[in-house]
Chain A
Amino acid sequence: MFHRRFYEARAKGRAARAFFPPRIARGAMWFGLALTVLLVPAWAQSPDQQTATQAAAQTTDQKLEQLQQKVDELDQAVKVAQRKQELAEEAAAEKAKTEATVTADTSGFTIRSPGGNYLLKIGADLQLDNRTYFGTGAGSDIDSLVARRVRPTFSGTIYKYIDFMFRPDFGQGTTAIYDAYAQLNYLAWANLRVGKFKPPVGLERLQSDDDTTFNERGLPSDLGPQRDIGYQLSADLFKRRANYAVGVFNGVPDASIGTDTAVSDHRDYAARIFLTPFLPDEGVLQGLGFGFGASGGNTDGEALPAFKTFGQQPFFTFASGVTAAGHRTRLDPQAYYYLGSFGLLAEYALNEEGFQKSGVRREIAFRAYQAEVSYILTGEKKSFASPTPRKPFDPLHGGWGAWELAARVGDWEAEKGIYSYGLASSSTSPRHLHEWVGGVNCYLNRLFKVAADYGKTDFGGGAVNSNKLPERIILLRFQINFI
């Protein structure tokens, strides 16, 4: 019997221990003992002692009440702080819906309305060139530091569908408007651009000057329009596999930005189609692009074209009494290919342009080509736009920017008739140029680039005096560009 009770009690104890961990069980035991110790004297208290105990209990109650009040106050304070935070966040969210955001980062300075329907970007294109010519140093080819481009840029969007761009140039001691246009992007297949901008002809001309592989463009760009005022419809089609552009322009001489006014009733018509048939994930041909640009118009009343070498020296002078007159056609087949860090760009330009001397009109053909090849040593991907360095220049932390080697060969030629028709003198103007350029580009980061090019241009086709000594130049450029 005793054993049975013992085992039952032991079993109950185990159950209790299972319910109450040993620490709690021990705590309960000590609490019971303390209660006993406290209560037993209370039963034995005198009336005075009982009064004192009641007073002590009252004090404890008051203290508890005060404590409760403080807890309540603290609770309220915490809740108020939380609610204020909540309201501040709501206010910030509400503000974000109606207030413009201002950002300053590697893509420039931007003010954007909520929803992005209105946007203003402020950018700049600054190029400082150090030109060092080797050779006689005679004439204008003197060594110099040149502020090649000083172009503040204002671009953006208004009314959601209208983009705009305004870019003057204050470089080389001149003030000129290079871009000033608005583009309506309402229809994905036909964006309408109006204003002053690059007509759709030459490939390298359409490449932004901060993205070109060399400090100066190749010889085919000498034979295309630089900027002109007009209308253009353009769009990317078929998932960007094709791009078209057609436009009507005032008409400008080769390599010119025009005078911002028309000089005759005639207009230039320009068109370009460029195909990039392979999408970014479609194998080794994904970087292939090829196309054709052309323009036609009339040169009546225009200034004569001014052709320049890589060193930006004028090399061709028309004879006295020659004016631009008659028809002008520009044809420009073009292509590029990019694969990994490797890049290839080639362009050919063929122009027929009308000139007049002593009442006789002649059409002269000009031809130019270039082929350039480049390779980025630091592994970045080469494309039509500048590479973004994997590690921006910060040598102390292992960043050296992106380094690129490049070479280019080019040729320019005017037909022999330019002499025989008396439009130029073989003794002063060569009709043939051959250039090659080698370059090193260092993209320190997305915004800053240092580029060094060595260029050699040989002159030929004319009489001995016009075939002057080759132009040899080292052209060092420091460039900041954000747009």
Chain B
Amino acid sequence: MAMKPTTHWMRFAVALLAGPVMFAAGPVKLLNVSYDPTRELYQDINAAFARQWKAKTGVDVEISQSHGGSGKQARSVIDGLQADVVTLALAYDIDSIAEHAHLLPANWQTRLPNNSAPYTSTIVFLVRHGNPKHIGDWDDLVRPGVSVIAPNPKSSGGARWAYLAAWGYGLKKNNGDDKKAQQFVTRLYRNVPVLDSGARGSTTTFAQRGIGDVLLDWENEAFLALDELGKDKVEVVTPSVSILAEPPVAVVDRVAAKHGTTQVAKAYIEFLYSGEGQEIGARHFYRPRSPEVAAKYASRFAHVQLFTIDEVFGGWQKAQKRHFDDGGVFDQIYLEGK
């Protein structure tokens, strides 16, 4: 039976109207743009949050992850990568997004507790089994013949923390003598044969390619490598002094608003502060903020004297400008080292 033209047009109109409705009823999609070693952490966080969000609202949420060197990731967001949420290695990178792309307000860091850093970490050493070069503290890294693997501070957030940790140690050892601290860090980077662009790349260089005697690494990344490679291959050495790394998180307001995901994006990063979120972080060797969870997982984390970037360097803006901007101290010492 032939269809009447009016019926045909009505069906067309219904399809046209129903399309967006059906689309709107699909899962909410978020993109979390993060730094290099958080892949495994956010796989677990995403699954847990999706379950919780579904139970709470009845809506499915699909969270995609993007990983890379923290500075590189920030540049991608500035250049248009549609991140609803950023979880980067350091506040300076999110500041850059706020400053250059105006995608979130300048005071983003005050919107959540603990400077918007739901977990912390620090820089430790990963050495080969048996610690054949007898590496125990920062001084051992500047010895001739010790090969140190570290990523490039120009592109990696973890590398910047590692560099500043070494500088802080240099200052402490030399009673605050800045020049001697610089000499110390120069000697250290002279022992670095390869600069990877991110922490995960450095782990590959050290663990899979068998290069170097010691890897300067995020604590969580070092323990992950220990788990994966086995205690018969590598060991974690915690130095006497290191830096309190505070990887921050933020909703990218304008992108989330454009996608209509502001509410779920906020809930997502707040979930990181929840008991479950903190537990997941601790299981992945991120130091929890929650005192209860921290007490529960205290045995996982070695005692180390930690200093903050504000205490020693006056905050990220100053540290970035002096050490990591083009022509900064890192450029000078790395060229000098070469």
- A308 CB within 8 Å of chain B: no
Q: Establish whether residues A79 and B209, one from each chain, have CB atoms under 8 Å apart when the complex forms.
A: yes
Q: Establish whether residues B194 and A84, one from each chain, have CB atoms under 8 Å apart when the complex forms.
A: yes
Q: Establish whether residues A87 and B147, one from each chain, have CB atoms under 8 Å apart when the complex forms.
A: no
Which residues of chain B from 239 to 260 have a CB within 8 Å of any chain A CB?
Answer: none
Which residues of chain A from 81 to 108 have a CB within 8 Å of any chain B CB?
Answer: 82-84, 87, 90-91
Interface of B is mostly: loop
Least Cβ–Cβ distance between B279 and chain A, in angstroms: 35
A75 (CB) vs chain B CBs: closest residue: B210
Chain B hits for A90, CB < 8 A: 197
Least Cβ–Cβ distance between B146 and chain A, in angstroms: 12
Chain B hits for A385, CB < 8 A: none
CA–CA, A84 and B205, complex, Å: 10
CA–CA, A87 and B194, complex, Å: 9
- A176 CB within 8 Å of chain B: no
Mask of B140-160 contacts with A, CB within 8 angstroms, 1/0: 000000010000000000000
Q: Establish whether residues B209 and A82, one from each chain, have CB atoms under 8 Å apart when the complex forms.
A: yes
Least Cβ–Cβ distance between A88 and chain B, in angstroms: 11
Most buried by B among A79, A83, A91: A83
- B201 CB within 8 Å of chain A: yes
Q: Establish whether residues A83 and B147, one from each chain, have CB atoms under 8 Å apart when the complex forms.
A: no
CA–CA, A257 and B95, complex, Å: 56
Chain B hits for A83, CB < 8 A: 194, 205, 209, 211
Least Cβ–Cβ distance between A442 and chain B, in angstroms: 50
- B193 CB within 8 Å of chain A: yes
Least Cβ–Cβ distance between B81 and chain A, in angstroms: 11
Least Cβ–Cβ distance between B82 and chain A, in angstroms: 16
Q: Establish whether residues B210 and A79, one from each chain, have CB atoms under 8 Å apart when the complex forms.
A: yes
- A54 CB within 8 Å of chain B: no
Known: A76-B147, A79-B210, A82-B209. A87 touches B193 (CB 8 A): no
CA–CA, A22 and B214, complex, Å: 49
B210 (CB) vs chain A CBs: closest residue: A79
- B196 CB within 8 Å of chain A: yes
- A80 CB within 8 Å of chain B: yes
B152 (CB) vs chain A CBs: closest residue: A87
Q: Establish whether residues A87 and B196, one from each chain, have CB atoms under 8 Å apart when the complex forms.
A: yes
Mask of B186-227 contacts with A, CB within 8 angstroms, 1/0: 000000011011000100010001111000000000000000
A73 (CB) vs chain B CBs: closest residue: B145
CA–CA, A87 and B197, complex, Å: 8
B194 (CB) vs chain A CBs: closest residue: A83
Q: Establish whether residues B193 and A80, one from each chain, have CB atoms under 8 Å apart when the complex forms.
A: yes
Least Cβ–Cβ distance between A144 and chain B, in angstroms: 55
Chain A hits for B196, CB < 8 A: 87
Chain A hits for B194, CB < 8 A: 80, 83-84, 87
Least Cβ–Cβ distance between B103 and chain A, in angstroms: 19
Chain A hits for B212, CB < 8 A: 76
Q: Which residues of B are interface residues toward A (Cβ below 8 A)?
A: 147, 193-194, 196-197, 201, 205, 209-212
Q: Which residues of A are interface residues toward B (Cβ below 8 A)?
A: 76, 79-80, 82-84, 87, 90-91
A-B contact pairs, 22 of them (CB 8 A): A76-B147, A76-B193, A76-B211, A76-B212, A79-B209, A79-B210, A79-B211, A80-B193, A80-B194, A80-B211, A82-B209, A83-B194, A83-B205, A83-B209, A83-B211, A84-B194, A87-B194, A87-B196, A87-B197, A87-B201, A90-B197, A91-B197
